[in-house]
Amino acid sequence: MNKKSRLFRLVDVLLLSLAAAPLVGGVVLQVLTKPPSQGISISGARIHFTLPAPLQALPITEAQINSWIVIVSLFFLCLYMTHGLAVRPETKRQVIAEWLIEQTESLVANNMGPYFKGFAPFVAAIMGLSAVSSLLTLLGMYPPTSDLNVVGGWALLVFFLITYYKLKAGPLYYLKSFAEPVAFLTPLNVIGEIATPVSMAFRHYGNILSGSVISVLVAAALQGLSRMVLGWLPGVLGSIPFLQIGLPAVLSIYFDVFSGCLQAFIFAMLTMLYIANGFPADEYEKRKSHKQNKVKQA
């Protein structure tokens, strides 16, 4: 039992280390590769290197690398949370893991219905990936959610799922839906269909990026104001930006923590609602029963 307990703890330490290692590596990479900046610096994701491709070179940016850092960290964190599961919870992490699963399944059931109960892992992955990506700013790393390419890829994946479930009632029914409620609204319905992933991507990307921009501008303004008001202090005291103490941290709590987690929840909610509302359940059941009747008659 003692050996088992030691082995159990050793695996726990290993999993936690593997979950933290990508984040530590990301911070080190950020420190080693980020060039020194003077004054206000607001830019997109830096390109680390490019890979040759048939059409054009494929740039590998810090947004892509940080996305993989988040994915690997969440993978090992999930392994840690599910390590040593028992019929009756014996650890606090199992209680937390079960609570998270129950809440996600309840959220999916309430917003999508029983047909989509298997979507709980997908929705949890979206929320976890989005929230942790936004929280990377707390470590001084570039958040992948501030890159339109990353969030646009998520939105396209959701759009493919929406289209897939709309096609469950057949391609003809899907095409006829563009002419509802009247035929002359077809162009507007087509534009609205295309606008779905665009609006999802820009909403998420815009909220995260705007928070980062506001935080940088406020911090720079406080630094200049501190130099103007308190620059008369003797020696080193005059160069210390005292007015930067406190307020940037409060803004970080809102823009980085609260807003980042809120946008992750909103993106997941929109995903659930768009997929569930686009699925023609009644027509799908009619088509399914019609196929079953044909099989029985044959």
Domain boundaries, the chain: 62-297
In this prediction, residue 8 carries a pLDDT of 86
Query: What's the pLDDT at 72?
Result: 96
User: Where does the pLDDT of residue 132 fall: very low under 50, low under 70, confident under 90, or very high at 90 and above?
Assistant: very high
| Residue 14 and residue 6 in contact, taking contact as beta carbons nearer than 8 Å | no
pLDDT in tens, 206-238: 888 777 777 777 777 777 777 776 666 666 665
Can you tell me the distance from the alpha carbon of 81 to that of 91, in angstroms, rounded to the nearest whole number?
10
d(CA 263, CA 289): 40
Amino acid identity for residue 251 in this structure: L
70-74, 257-261, 285-289: the lowest-pLDDT one: 285-289
Query: Residue with structure tokens 């070179």?
Result: 57
Q: How does residue 1 score in pLDDT terms, banded at 50, 70 and 90? A: very low
Mean pLDDT of 161-175: 88
pLDDT band at residue 131 under the 50/70/90 scheme: very high
The overall average pLDDT reported for the chain is 84
Find the range with the poorest average confidence among 43-57, 95-109, 205-219. Answer: 205-219
Q: What is the pTM of this model?
A: 0.83
* pLDDT for the residue 286: 81
Q: Supply 55's token pair.
A: 């059409």
Check pLDDT > 70 for residue 75. yes
pLDDT (0 to 100) of residue 38: 54
Does 246 have pLDDT greater than 70?
Answer: no
Per-residue pLDDT tens digits for 110-122: 999 888 988 999 9
Question: Residues 144, 150: contact at Cβ < 8 Å?
Answer: yes
36-45, 66-75, 192-201, 222-231: which is most confident: 66-75
245 vs 81: CA distance, rounded Å: 36
What integer pLDDT is reported at residue 248 of this predicted model? 67
pLDDT in tens, 176-188: 888 887 788 888 8
Lowest mean pLDDT among 47-61, 131-145, 207-221: 207-221
Residue 135 near residue 26 (C-beta atoms within 8 A): no
Work out the average pLDDT over 234-256.
66
Kindly tell me if the per-residue pLDDT of 247 is higher than 90: no
Q: Could you give the percent of the chain with pLDDT greater than 70?
A: 88
Among 58-67, 79-88, 173-182, name the one with the lowest average pLDDT.
173-182
